[in-house]
Amino acid sequence: MTVEAADHKNVVIVGGKLLVSRNKLTPASFAGHALANYLATRVPATYRVILIDRSAFALHAPAMVRAIVVPGTESRNLTAPITQETVFPANSRHRVLAPVAVRELSRTSVTLDTEFEGSTELPFDKCIIATGATQPHPLRQLAGTSLEDYRVILRHTQEELAAAKSVIVVGGGGSGVEIAGELSAHYPDKKVTLVHSRTRLLQTASQSTNKTWGFSYSPIPERLSSSLEEQLTRRGVDLALGERLVFPSGPVQDTEWDGTHSSLGQLKTVTLSSGRTIEADYVLISTGNIPNSSFVASADSGAVSDAGYIIVDHTLRVVPSSTESPLAGEYYSIGDVAATPGRKAASTANMEATALGKLLVAHLTSGKEMGQYSPTRMSGAVICLGQPHEGTDLGAGVYSFPWIGDVAAPQWILRRMAKDYFVNQTFFARFVGERKIGPEDG
List residues binding ligand FAD (CB under 6 A): 27-32, 52-55, 58, 61-62, 64-65, 101-102, 130-133, 135, 139-140, 174-175, 292, 295, 335-337, 344-347, 349
DSSP letters, 45-102, are TT-EEEEE-SSSEEE-GGGHHHHTTSTTGGGSSSEEE--HHHHS-TT-S-EEETT--E
Q: Which is nearer to ligand FAD, 248 or 380 (CB)?
A: 380
Nearest approach, Cβ of residue 276 and ligand FAD (Å): 27
The angle at the Cα of 333, spanning 327 to 334, to the nearest 5 degrees, equals 170
What CA–CA distance (Å, rounded) separates 143 from 335? 18
Give the nearest distance from C-beta 128 to ligand FAD in angstroms: 10
- Closest to ligand FAD by CB, 12 vs 283, is 283
Identify which of residues 112 and 278 has a Cβ nearer to ligand FAD in the complex.
112
b/e per residue 303-315 (b: at least 16 CB within 10 A): bbbebbbbbbeee
- Report, in Å, the least distance between residue 112 CB and ligand FAD: 8
Measured from the CB atom, the residue of 139 and 154 that comes closer to ligand FAD is: 139
Cβ atoms within 10 Å of 124's Cβ, excluding its own = 22
- The separation between CA 421 and the C-alpha centre of its own chain, rounded to angstroms, equals 15
Quick one: 12 or 68, whose CB is closer to ligand FAD? 68
Number of residues that this document lists for the chain: 442
Question: 285 vs 138, 160, 269, 282, CA distance in Å?
Answer: 10, 14, 17, 10
Residue 98: how many other CB atoms lie within 10 Å: 22
In angstroms, rounded to a whole number, what is the distance separating the alpha carbons of residues 59 and 52?
Answer: 15
Whose Cβ is closer to ligand FAD: residue 33's or residue 268's? 33
Please identify, using beta-carbon distances, which residue of 52 and 284 lies nearer to ligand FAD. 52
Query: Residue 28 Cβ, how far from ligand FAD at the closest point, in Å?
Result: 5
CB of residue 82 to ligand FAD, shortest distance in Å = 8
To the nearest whole angstrom, how small is the minimum distance from the Cβ of residue 176 to ligand FAD?
9
Cα–Cα distance, 39 to 22 (Å, whole number)? 13
